[in-house]
Amino acid sequence: MKSLRKLALQAAGAAFVLYAAGGYAQSQNPPPTAGTKPAQAEGEQTERPIVVNTTEVVVPVTVKDRSGNLVPDLKRDEFRVFEDGIEQEVRRLNTDVVPISMVVLIDNDLRTTDMKQVEPSLASIVAGLSASDEAFICRFDQYFHEGKGFTRDQDQLLTELRRTKLESRSATPPSGDPFGGPTINGAPAPGAPMGTANPSLRAIQGQPTKALDDAVYESALLLRDRDSKKRRKIILLISDGKNGAKFNTHKYEVVREELLRQGIIVYCVATGSEYFDRKFNRLVSYARDTGGDIYYGAKQDSFSEFYSRITEEARNQYVLIYSPRGDSKVDYHKIEVRVRRPDLEVLAREGYYGGTFATPAKK
């Protein structure tokens, strides 16, 4: 009798477990309602969506004709993009006009003749800006002189630019320290950073007194918190190109990497056009590597024209978007952009660092 009762209790318990399991399954898979496709029977193959984690690379591109005019009517299939020598499929082409976040970086240590041409032209920078653009005015010599911050207020920018007075010699450091860094018994400490040597000593030795690379790096840091998805980040560099390599704390390769990681484009206006030699090499490198441009100014009117052309270029770039095919383990990827139409100049950055410009692909 006891054994029969035990068997009955076990059967009841098993039935309860089966009911509970069925109820749980039913709560997870409720019966289909009207307009709902019923669940497939056991044994039937179910098509599951394939989710692939990919990235997208975004490349702003400027295209000009032989006369230097922008070419506005190119289509997606007229572009070719190569990454590390492998041709990529351009998935999308964006031609939307976007606002600009710009650091205006002005050389504060120009020759007197160059200074007299540049200084009166600065106010005309505002003419090329739209109401949605923002700018940050900075100067540099052997030190970096940070301005008042980003602003969209064009009246404020105009006032600040009109009040910008350039020096024909190295200015004092922002801290007021005549040497700009650590000293020992009144002399610069060995290995001290940017601007630590005595300016008069440098002038006697005939060495460049400017830390151009450090100034570009500091300008890039100012752009870090600007939204690169909604704004185009650029540096407008106005300089004679002289650079005291020994007095920079950041090498060119380090500055270049920071610019590429942020997607910053450098546009240069070179002063002192009678010297078309190696002194402009650094300006050319910044413009070429980041997909920017360089203009050579010889008189005040040309500077004013260049500022407007630069902002027009930056605001009206093509934006190519592709999912990269190649070695994803490599940190730096070299890019080459071509167009199928002949006799056109293409300006695009030389490469990117893996993951920097990548955003999740749209499903």
Residues 122-133, mean pLDDT to the nearest whole number: 94
Find the range with the poorest average confidence among 18-32, 75-89, 320-334.
18-32
Same domain, 86 and 123: no
Is 107 among the domain residues? yes
Residue 194 has pLDDT above 60, yes or no: no
| pLDDT of the residue at 189 | 42
Is 25 among the domain residues? no
Same domain, 242 and 108: yes
Residue 97 has pLDDT above 80, yes or no: yes
Same domain, 216 and 271: yes
| pLDDT of the residue at 251 | 95
Same domain, 264 and 326: no
Is 31 among the domain residues? no
Closest C-alpha among 125, 132, 109 to residue 272: 109
| pLDDT of the residue at 312 | 93
Residue 61 has pLDDT above 80, yes or no: yes
Same domain, 342 and 259: no
Burial 75-84 (b: 16+ CB within 10 A, else e): eeebbbbebb
| pLDDT of the residue at 346 | 97
Tell me, yes or no, if the pTM score tops 0.85. no
Same domain, 257 and 223: yes
- Domains in the chain, number: 2
| pLDDT of the residue at 223 | 97
Same domain, 307 and 327: no
Find the range with the poorest average confidence among 30-44, 78-92, 161-175.
30-44
| pLDDT of the residue at 270 | 92
Categorize the per-residue pLDDT at 246 as very low, low, confident or very high, splitting at 50, 70 and 90.
confident
Same domain, 281 and 256: yes
Q: Quick: pLDDT tens for 265-287.
A: 999 999 875 555 567 899 999 99
Instruction: List the CATH number of the domain containing 267.
Output: 3.40.50.410
3-state secondary structure the chain: CHHHHHHHHHHHHHHHHHHHHHHHHHHHCCCCCCCCCCCCCCCCCCCCCCCCCCEEEEEEEEEECCCCCECCCCCHHHEEEEECCEEECEEEEECCCCCEEEEEEEECECCHHHHHHHHHHHHHHHHHCCCCCEEEEEEECCCEECCCCCECCHHHHHHHHHCCCCECCCCCCCCCCCCCCCEECCEECCCCCCCCCCHHHHHHHCCCCCCHHHHHHHHHHHCCCCCCCCCEEEEEEEECCCCCHHHCCCCHHHHHHHHHHHCCEEEEEECCCCCCCHHHHHHHHHHHHHCCCEEECCCHHHHHHHHHHHHHHHHCCEEEEECCCCCCCCCEEEEEEEECCCCCEEEECCEEECCCCCEECCC
Q: How far is CA 225 from CA 147, 221, 228, 233, 307, in A?
A: 16, 8, 9, 10, 24
Same domain, 219 and 85: no
Residue 175 has pLDDT above 60, yes or no: no
Residues 116-131, mean pLDDT to the nearest whole number: 92
Residues 93-114, mean pLDDT to the nearest whole number: 93
Same domain, 311 and 336: no
Categorize the per-residue pLDDT at 331 as very low, low, confident or very high, splitting at 50, 70 and 90.
confident
Is 24 among the domain residues? no
Same domain, 205 and 330: no
Residue 38 has pLDDT above 60, yes or no: no
Is the model more confident about 111 or about 175? 111
Categorize the per-residue pLDDT at 209 as very low, low, confident or very high, splitting at 50, 70 and 90.
confident
| pLDDT of the residue at 44 | 46
| pLDDT of the residue at 141 | 93
Residues 70-90, mean pLDDT to the nearest whole number: 96
Domain containing 243: what range?
Answer: 100-172+199-315
Report the mean per-residue pLDDT for the chain. Answer: 78
Same domain, 154 and 249: yes
| pLDDT of the residue at 359 | 45
